[in-house]
Structure 1
């Protein structure tokens, strides 16, 4: 169903169109509600394409993965799948013909889904989704990642087929939140860090993880590193709208999740998520203070105007490019958020990504937009990597975490999709390693033959 920004691959997702036709009303079937909660439309709908027809290119350090057609088409989709085959694909990552899916498809989370929810999803896709007979592009990764059979070993180590079981010591609301966070809505796939093989490190569950150019923050109950200082109402508002005054605004992958999925969930489901998160095991990740507590208003507009651009290049870029929306003192207005007391300015990675790629989410039919300012920007100032570094450092020093320093190289890395995953680095040595092993085996065999001849 919906690919996540994690799993085996670290993905930097843009908005895959909108969840057109997926907004819920009182007449929505259980299966449709589940599909929206699972955010299936986000990755299985290409920009400008038909819903669930696949073909969305998902960038990863290992190459481009193309999402599949999951309409009930018998030619290009899943129209020939039985209920059992559908369940195996969703929960175990194995298609009807036995092909193993990459864990970019978050079956490691969907595996917790109940039989009744899987049955309702199957009914929805087979009877309510319009079939589309258009085949999708084939995913062709480089060796060794193109060997899908390798997923058998990965699954043996990291995948569990255990279904969700409520904890009798917890309330029904907390158990529902657990099911959503770690199963159906698969929040854990982004917010849990990964080990070297890109499997979830559940010893630090929900403690934050890298997502290409973006970073999914710590959402445990720790009051400094996580969101323990947030109220239940704060969390519900953020999930519903992507905005909490004085705390945070959703951008990047999270904005996409709000737009296509979370805003359509019921109040009871959102409250359940909040209840679960606020009772999770707190995990400290080294922050000096809560992410939303940094910064204050600035008076630089009064003190720096008229100065030479080279004396304070970051401020000059801010004054000419950013201040019109975020206000000269950084306090924002009704449409644009404050730059201080804003989690985006507590981390350099998400700040850079927001400037390079912009921010977009649509909530209740209203678009919230910040344009992109990277080299590929179409309708705004095209800032160079150094200019983005300069304005980022200015914003961090005045409104955010002044200990964070941005370089032009950091910006270039964000434009390229973020740091290379360690697994991708190791893969570069796979073929040389195989050749070396073969050579060593050959030399060993030759040496053995030589000794036997001498002995004879």
Structure 2
């Protein structure tokens, strides 16, 4: 009797295993897939931070990635699009291949071309793996927002997009980043981030007649040599000691990217402040060091700046200048009578300050007009805007006073120059 029961138990166990084992096998296979998906989203989120997607695709007061931020072009404003996984207005219907085509070629799912305000000439360098991770994050890690996209402010025929096909043909250099075996892994990581995800060249590389970047990597002339954009000067960030940041140490570059503040050298404002708030301050130290090391190594490109913008000079306050009283009444309470700021650097020194030592007063005027606002997660650096308190003439006089008193040189700043910059939104500028 016991043998018979044992026999039937074995048969039943066998049947049970035949039925259950395939199910168990499929479940055990699915679990790593879920874990892999979570890992992909985690990596994709980090890459979205490194790419600073939220800064352009989120309007003031809007939900993350829902679009609507105005981007000025010569013919009028275009608006960033909804890139949440909403299936009506976002990218919820995009396949991975659709997503890849947007990033690599600037072509939407409907076949229309994007304006190169979207930095796809940089994102084309992203690897397939990173694009897949970004896709996983945007599809599964971002909240869908049912918000319509805004149309450009300009009218037909300027809204026709077929000329953008010609732009791609002429100027887009397609292809993922090619690892350079004669360079260190850290150098390659820095190059990949600077050229690709962080799209530094979008602001810091000069543009040609077609508004294309004149160079896309360190092998091409003019890469990161500085450019005017949105009424500001995106400074030369090559290794040139006078025109660029060659006089900075690697640690100072890391500190600037991480905090937006290097006492006696520079403080971030405008879009660079946003990039630090939303992107660089949230990146890991290894990547920031890789970026800094790469910037220190690339070819130096000189320009009319014959001495470092952050050169230390003796203060020479001239009380006879019209801007002296404007400075005392509006600036000295934070920055000090002699322009020394505070010892901890929270209120920046005017001495050795890159915007005051620059050959162009645009950035200085923009800071006075629009203020500065950097929140790196640890410290919040803030300067109020003076566009409402000071007239064009007062701002011009103040700028001249700051440059001559604390910058060691002189510039002619006119009220007309200030008036032209008043129209620049603080969202459209780069320090």
**TM value normalised by structure 1:** 0.80
Indicate which of 392, 416, 419 corresponds to 1:409: 416
How many residue pairs were aligned?
Answer: 378
Relative to structure 1, the CA distance from residue 402 to residue 40 in structure 2 (aligned partners, 3 Å threshold; closer, same or farther) is same
> Structure 1 CA distance, aligned partners of 2:276 and 2:110?
34
Query: In structure 2, what is the equivalent of residue 362 of structure 1?
Result: 375
- How far did residue 211 of structure 1 move? 1.3
> Structure 1 CA distance, aligned partners of 2:306 and 2:208?
25
1:184-243, Cα deviation, whole Å (9 max, x unpaired): 110111110011111111220100011122111111111111111111101100100011
Indicate which of 82, 90, 95 corresponds to 1:82: 95
| 1:386 matches 2:393 | yes
1:64 is paired with a residue whose SS is strand
Query: In structure 1, what is the equivalent of residue 407 of structure 2?
Result: 400
Note if contact 2:277-2:375 (Cα within 8 Å) is conserved in structure 1. Answer: yes
> Structure 2 CA distance, aligned partners of 1:398 and 1:144?
51
Q: Which runs of 4+ in 1 moved over 6 A?
A: none
Query: In structure 2, what is the equivalent of residue 283 of structure 1?
Result: 301
Query: In structure 2, what is the equivalent of residue 220 of structure 1?
Result: 238
Query: In structure 1, what is the equivalent of residue 333 of structure 2?
Result: 324
Query: In structure 2, what is the equivalent of residue 239 of structure 1?
Result: 257
| 1:103 matches 2:125 | no
Note if contact 1:298-1:328 (Cα within 8 Å) is conserved in structure 2. Answer: no
- How far did residue 247 of structure 1 move? 1.1
Q: In structure 1, list runs of 5 or more residues that go unmatched.
A: 1-25, 305-310, 419-456
2:373 is paired with a residue whose SS is strand
| 1:61 matches 2:74 | yes
- How far did residue 144 of structure 1 move? 5.4
Indicate which of 333, 351, 370 corresponds to 1:340: 351
2:297 is paired with a residue whose SS is coil
Query: In structure 2, what is the equivalent of residue 29 of structure 1?
Result: 42
Relative to structure 1, the CA distance from residue 365 to residue 48 in structure 2 (aligned partners, 3 Å threshold; closer, same or farther) is farther
> Structure 2 CA distance, aligned partners of 1:62 and 1:332?
42
> Structure 1 CA distance, aligned partners of 2:159 and 2:406?
45
- How far did residue 312 of structure 1 move? 2.9
> Structure 2 CA distance, aligned partners of 1:365 and 1:48?
22
Note if contact 1:213-1:415 (Cα within 8 Å) is conserved in structure 2. Answer: no
> Structure 1 CA distance, aligned partners of 2:376 and 2:169?
40
Relative to structure 1, the CA distance from residue 294 to residue 286 in structure 2 (aligned partners, 3 Å threshold; closer, same or farther) is farther
Relative to structure 1, the CA distance from residue 345 to residue 143 in structure 2 (aligned partners, 3 Å threshold; closer, same or farther) is farther
Q: Which stretch shows the higher mean deviation, 112-121 or 281-290?
A: 281-290
| 1:208 matches 2:220 | no
> Structure 2 CA distance, aligned partners of 1:406 and 1:294?
22
| 1:261 matches 2:270 | no
> Structure 2 CA distance, aligned partners of 1:141 and 1:182?
31
Query: In structure 1, what is the equivalent of residue 202 of structure 2?
Result: 189
- How far did residue 298 of structure 1 move? 4.3
**TM value normalised by structure 2:** 0.85
Q: Which stretch shows the higher mean deviation, 315-324 or 222-231?
A: 222-231
Query: In structure 1, what is the equivalent of residue 315 of structure 2?
Result: 297
> Structure 1 CA distance, aligned partners of 2:142 and 2:382?
30
- How far did residue 120 of structure 1 move? 0.2
Note if contact 1:291-1:346 (Cα within 8 Å) is conserved in structure 2. Answer: yes
Q: Which stretch shows the higher mean deviation, 109-118 or 143-152?
A: 143-152
Q: Which stretch shows the higher mean deviation, 156-165 or 133-142?
A: 133-142
Q: In structure 2, list runs of 5 or more residues that go unmatched.
A: 1-38, 216-220, 426-431
Indicate which of 162, 171, 195 corresponds to 1:158: 171
Rg larger in structure: 2
Give me the CA root mean square deviation.
1.7
1:22-48, Cα deviation, whole Å (9 max, x unpaired): xxxx99800100100000000111111
Query: In structure 2, what is the equivalent of residue 126 of structure 1?
Result: 139
Query: In structure 2, what is the equivalent of residue 373 of structure 1?
Result: 386
Relative to structure 1, the CA distance from residue 70 to residue 28 in structure 2 (aligned partners, 3 Å threshold; closer, same or farther) is closer
> Structure 2 CA distance, aligned partners of 1:401 and 1:288?
13
| 1:312 matches 2:330 | no
> Structure 2 CA distance, aligned partners of 1:390 and 1:60?
30
1:357-397, Cα deviation, whole Å (9 max, x unpaired): 111111115321111111xx3xxxx1000000000000010
Note if contact 1:140-1:146 (Cα within 8 Å) is conserved in structure 2. Answer: no
Note if contact 2:41-2:137 (Cα within 8 Å) is conserved in structure 1. Answer: no
